[in-house]
A and B are shown apart, each in its own frame.
Chain A
Amino acid sequence: MMEALQDHPVWMAMPAWMVLSSLVAGLLILVLGEPYQRTRVVINLGAAVLKLVLVGFMLWGVGQGHDFEFRLPLLPGIDLYLHADSLSMLLATLSAILWLITTVYAIGYLEQSPNRCRFFGFFSLCVAATMGVSVAGNLFTFFLFYELLTLTTWPLVVHRGVSVALRAGKRYLAYTLGGGGIFLFGIIALYALMGDQVFTPGGFVDPDLPPALLIGIFLLLLVGVGVKAAMVPLHGWLPQAMVAPAPVSALLHAVAVVKAGAFGIVRLVYDVYGLDLVATLGMNHVLAIAAAITIVWGSLRALQASDIKQRLAFSTVSQVSYIALGVGIGSPMATIGGLVHLVHQGLMKITLFFCAGNLAETHGIKRVDQVDGMGRTMPWTMAAFTLAALGMIGVPPIAGFVSKWYLGLGGVENGQYWVLGVLVASTLLNAAYFLPVLRRAWFPRADAPDRGPGIHEAPLSLLIPTVATATFALGAGILAGMPFSPLQWAQFIGEQIYGVAP
């Protein structure tokens, strides 16, 4: 019976239903209008749960090696092609889980604010775009959802409408649309040369094209994806975009948008050019060096940032480049380290943003030096913050350590010892900008303003999501060995890429 079900077209088109679930939810919310508050919450949560179920089915299916694909002809010779492979399930699962949690958080966070219809409409459209990016099967579809992501996140960045938010939005647009233009140019050049190709492990670009042309196109595509992955010269928009409400900066700028960029780099290297072509062109070194520079630069800027969300933003800039670093090194272990960090960083960073949101919402704390003595006043939030911060630094039981460990192994495996140096330096810098915050929270100096006795925690609807993501981060670290853990899945992807058990 299961086999009959397997190749039934409706089942095969599962990725389409996944994308549609939040797309339809978003459109419905936008059409409904402001007064339908309760129905909006029902639609949101329903869509999130439905998406989780669909992702679960697909996760199981891809694990069994079944094939999910959906094809819609959009242009003569070019189709909107959704294909769920192991790599896409990584981002899809992460986004699905975190979207459910962030929706709960956002409902609590935006209790009496205006324009919630617009917010939640574009919020679910944005997740639909992220889903689309993850299951995109060819460059055309990838670009379509990639730009849709820009369009749907812009209203969220400028949601507050204050002039600071508008300036941030303008800068965000300039970067992302500029990068998108360059990305489109590269894609069409590839289409003009190769025609409509599907992402295939080992890449579909034919190696004996003139190397100068190949490098040129690769750089165009890299810049296109690098903007969203906030690689150094192109990262300017991320710290500015932190002016958005907390749930937006949590899901979008820590998980969806930034991960779409990193995911793009992974697709570009493994499924468009293929590892060996990238190596022959010498592009992997360029990527690795750029990633290393971003890691160090991001951490240094985080050190100077006095605003909590700014600091977290620069920390994101540096952390995302771990993924690029893993891909740049190119050895199996480094790839697994990079891929698994995609999930781990997501879990940890979203917890940090939730905590920053709680601090700002309940006590109006926005700057690092105002955090004194918060350990006592908001124990749960600060506990989650500490756990996630330690994870970012790479303290063993928490998820962060696993990915750094694999990245180090990968570097050693390939004989690139400088990678170890970069990892150690970044770990120290992470510690340098996270530990003072923890110290202030738990061991306030004597002259710190007295917060008064008793616990004044964030409301439950904000607290539960924070604690949940913190436990996920811890679980991903401890249960790394379990069958369906992010690490196992990353190894599963590694097998498919390198064709051999690492």
Chain B
Amino acid sequence: MTELDSLVAPTLTFLIFAPLLAGVVALLWPRGLVLDLLSISLGAISLVLLVPLSGTVMGQGPLLLELGGHELPLGIPLYVDGLALAMLWLTALTGLGTAVYASGWLRSVSHPSGQQYRVLWFLLWSGLNALFVSGDLFNIYVTLEITTLAAVPLVALARGREALSAAMQYLYFALVGSILFLLGVALVYAETGLLALPELSARESEAAGPGETIALLAITVGLAMKAALFPAHGWLPRAHAAASPPASALLSALVAKAAAYLVIRLWLGPFEAAWTPAVAQLMGVVGVLGILYGSLQALRQHRLKPVIAYSTVAQLGYLLLLIPLASVVAWQGVIYHALVHGLAKAAFFLAAGNLILGIGHDRLVGLAGCDRVLSKNLLAMAVAGVAIAGLPPTGGFIAKWWMITAALEQGQWWWAVAIGMGGLLAALYVFRVVSFAVHSPRPWHEEPLRETRHGLNRLLLWPPVLLAAAAVALGMTGELLAPFLAVGAPEVSP
């Protein structure tokens, strides 16, 4: 077991097991205030712990920690590289923001199952952290199950018929998806006798046997159903639109992304030998179709939350573009996009939640005149939308620049055009939503000049604003974060 500096094991242990213990505490001691303080402090501590962890990953390259001290291939390894690190940061930041928002939201709506929400969040959080650092195929299956079984109740948390039927549809998609994933794991184990990702990717990639290829197919279809990638996206818009604001922020920013993260993690790591460039182009096409379909659908919606949900379907398509463009620059670009999209999407949903709280319903037409009452909220939502569309001052632009550079450097210019188109379409549906809010039916000088401060308590306002600010701040730190993201990038083509 490679000699790791003293802080890595405690950090990883904290990230995975502390939220579990917090979940147990939440079940035993259901006092709301205590649980909110617990979730916020856990979020803060994990952010603090991530800093030295990033330093170590930066210094020593990808970290490998064998659980229980058992050498591979028997034990389960935890594997942390640039991609996993970025996802951990995303989970911590979005988690903290959503936790603060949820504490305010649960009180302002006096939701009956506040305790349940906090337990679900703690367990979801530990499942996500485990998923991002896990280096074992079956372990990833178990963590996927945790995220699903925590996400479906989060959807069902929003009372009403639509939430229940959306949760039902989500559960069935996820159920079949996880069985397909399990089939893939079984085939890989039968064929290679290995489960650990580092071992699988370290094999000298001679031609993969039929079992491995079918396994890759099964795993990809399974994950596509869980991440609602284009052909299998039916459930996501209904589920994310029906869920309550903090829940849909978590679902869109983290849960859907975890499954998409796994697609690139498995395609570029252990299953590298199982696909040919032609297949990679096909995956790229699926990604682009997802981008175009999601964006066009988002342009057609009449309610606010389905627009954001379809935007998630679209933005997840970008992750698949990493497969045909498997260069280091593309790796950095796609991870950066995942990071920025996570933060911005969470900000978008939370700000949308505030607007809906303000006007009572989420029809786009009803947003008119919202700019005067909830102006700061609207500004946060607009900035988050700009980050999703990848326009300059925000981190989204840096990610888009990286991805287009990677596409042009490898001569696959068509991906660059697709990325550009995706950005434009995203800008269109973002500005469509904002123009609904800015629209004031009567000419303004007849409008009575009243600035009603909406009774939005501070806890609901600051998370979206800070998350949107983080998405913009990422625009400035491209140079700073580039070496972190490049750790563990596949040295495929230059």
A contacts B: CB pair < 8 Å: yes
Complex: chain A residue closest to B448, CB-CB: A114
Chain A residues with CB below 8 A from B34, complex form:
none
CB distance from B84 to the nearest CB of A (A): 21
Tell me the smallest distance from the CB of B455 to a CB of chain A, in Å. Answer: 16
Map CB proximity to B onto A184-196 as digits: 1 under 8 Å, 0 otherwise.
Answer: 1100110110000
User: Do A166 and B438 contact each other (CB < 8 Å), given the known contacts A74-B478, A161-B444?
Assistant: yes
Residue contact A74 to B420, C-beta cutoff 8 Å: no
Interface stretch, picked from A141-149, A373-381, A467-475, is A141-149
**Residue on B nearest A190 in the bound complex, by CB:** B408
Complex: A169 Cα to B375 Cα, angstroms: 19
For the complex, is A118 an interface residue (Cβ under 8 Å from B)?
yes
Contact B405 A188 (CB under 8 A): yes
Instruction: Flag if A161 contacts B439 (CB, 8 Å).
Output: yes
Which residues of the partner chain B approach A499 to less than 8 Å between Cβ atoms? none
Q: A151 with B479: in contact, given A114-B449, A118-B375, A170-B435 (CB under 8 Å)?
A: no
**Which residues 117-153 of A have a CB within 8 angstroms of B?**
117-118, 140, 143-145, 147-148, 150-151
How distant is the Cα of A282 from the Cα of B402 in the complex, in angstroms? 32
- Tell me how far the C-beta of A24 lies from the nearest C-beta in chain B, rounded to whole angstroms: 14
Q: Which of A30, A178, A189, A192 has the most CB of B within 10 A?
A: A192
Q: Which residues of B contact A160 (CB under 8 A)?
A: 440, 443-444
A151 touches B391 (CB 8 A): yes
Binary contact track B429-462/A, C-beta < 8 Å → 1, others 0: 0011001001110011101010100000000000
The verdict on A114 contacting B482 (CB below 8 Å), with A34-B375, A148-B392, A173-B427 known, is no
B303 within 8 A of A: no
The answer to whether residues A147 and B451 also contact, given A161-B444, A181-B424 and a CB cut-off of 8 A, is: no
Q: With A114-B447, A161-B438 given, is the CB distance from A76 to B405 under 8 Å? A: no
Distance in angstroms between the alpha carbons of A150 and B431 in the assembled complex: 12
A118 to B376: give the CA distance in the assembly, Å.
10
Check A39 for interface membership: any CB of B closer than 8 A: no
CA distance A233 to B386 in the complex (A): 27
Between A35, A184, A189, the greatest number of chain B beta carbons within 10 A of the residue's beta carbon is seen for A184
Residues of B within 8 A of A454 (CB): none
- In the bound complex, do residue A169 and residue B443 qualify as a contact, i.e. CB atoms below 8 Å apart? no
A148 touching B393, Cβ below 8 Å: yes
B window 370-386: CB within 8 A of A: 371-372, 375-376, 379, 386
Interface membership of A64, Cβ < 8 A: no
Within 8 A of B (CB), among A198-238: none
Whether the pair A185, B445 counts as a contact (CB closer than 8 A) is no
A33 on the interface (CB 8 Å rule)?
yes
Q: Does the CB pair B445–A76 fall under 8 Å?
A: no
- Tell yes or no: A177 within 8 A of B by CB: yes
Chain B interface residue number, banded = 35 or more
Evaluate contact between A112 and B401: CB separation under 8 angstroms.
Answer: no
Q: Using an 8 Å CB-CB cutoff, how does the interface string of A17-47 with B read, 1 for contact, 0 for none?
A: 0000000000000100111000000000000
A151 in contact with B393 (CB, 8 Å): yes
B428 partner residues in chain A, CB cutoff 8 A: 173-174, 177
Interface flags, B336-376, vs A, CB<8A=1, else 0: 00000000000000000000000000000000000110011
Residues of B within 8 A of A144 (CB): 392-393, 397
* A residues in contact with B478, CB < 8 Å: 74-76
What does the 1/0 interface line of A416-438 toward B look like (CB < 8 Å)? 00000000000000000000000
Are A192 and B371 in contact (CB-based, < 8 A)?
A: no
* Chain A positions 70-118 with a Cβ under 8 Å from a chain B Cβ: 72-76, 112-115, 117-118
Q: Chain A 152-166, CB within 8 Å of chain B: the 1/0 string?
A: 001100101111001
Chain B positions within 8 Å of A191 at CB level: 405
A163 to B365 Cα, complex, angstroms: 13
- Residues of chain B within 8 A (CB-CB) of A114 are 372, 444, 447, 449, 451
Cα(A144)–Cα(B390), bound, Å = 11
Please indicate the chain B residues that have their CB under 8 angstroms from the CB of A161 in the complex: 371, 438-440, 444
B71 within 8 A of A: no
Residues in chain B near residue A117, CB distance under 8 A: 375
B409 close to chain A: CB less than 8 A: yes
Task: Decide if B471 is an interface residue (CB 8 Å cutoff).
Answer: no
When the two chains form their complex, are residues B404 and A185 in contact, meaning their CB atoms are under 8 A apart? yes
Q: Of A72, A151, A158, A169, which is within 8 A of B392 by CB?
A: A151
Task: Tell me if A143 and B392 are in contact (CB < 8 A).
Answer: yes
Does B438 contact A177, Cβ atoms closer than 8 Å? no
Contact of B439 among A112, A113, A163, A184 (CB under 8 A): A163
**Cβ–Cβ contact A188 & B401, under 8 A:** yes
The complex places the Cα of A82 from the Cα of B478 at a distance, in Å, of 18
**Contacts A35-B451, A75-B402, A173-B427: A162 and B392 contacting too (C-beta < 8 A)?**
no
Q: Give the distance in Å from the alpha carbon of A188 to the alpha carbon of B413 in the complex.
A: 11
Chain A residue contacts of B431, Cβ below 8 A: 154, 169-170, 173
In contact, A74 and B372 (Cβ under 8 angstroms):
no
Q: Are A112 and B438 in contact (CB under 8 A)?
A: no
Contact B482 A115 (CB under 8 A): no
Interface residue B423 (Cβ < 8 Å from any Cβ of A): yes
Sample of 7 more A-B contacts, CB < 8 Å, known A74-B398, A151-B391, A178-B424: A35-B451, A73-B479, A118-B371, A162-B443, A166-B438, A173-B431, A185-B416
Q: List 25 A-B contacts (CB under 8 A).
A: A34-B375, A73-B479, A74-B476, A76-B482, A112-B449, A114-B444, A114-B449, A114-B451, A148-B393, A155-B438, A158-B435, A161-B438, A161-B444, A166-B435, A169-B431, A169-B435, A170-B431, A173-B431, A185-B404, A185-B416, A185-B417, A188-B408, A188-B416, A189-B408, A192-B409
List 5 tightest A-B contacts by C-beta distance, closest first. Answer: A161-B440, A73-B479, A147-B392, A192-B408, A76-B482
| Chain A residues within CB distance 8 Å of chain B | 30, 33-35, 72-76, 112-115, 117-118, 140, 143-145, 147-148, 150-151, 154-155, 158, 160-163, 166, 169-170, 173-174, 177-178, 181, 184-185, 188-189, 191-192
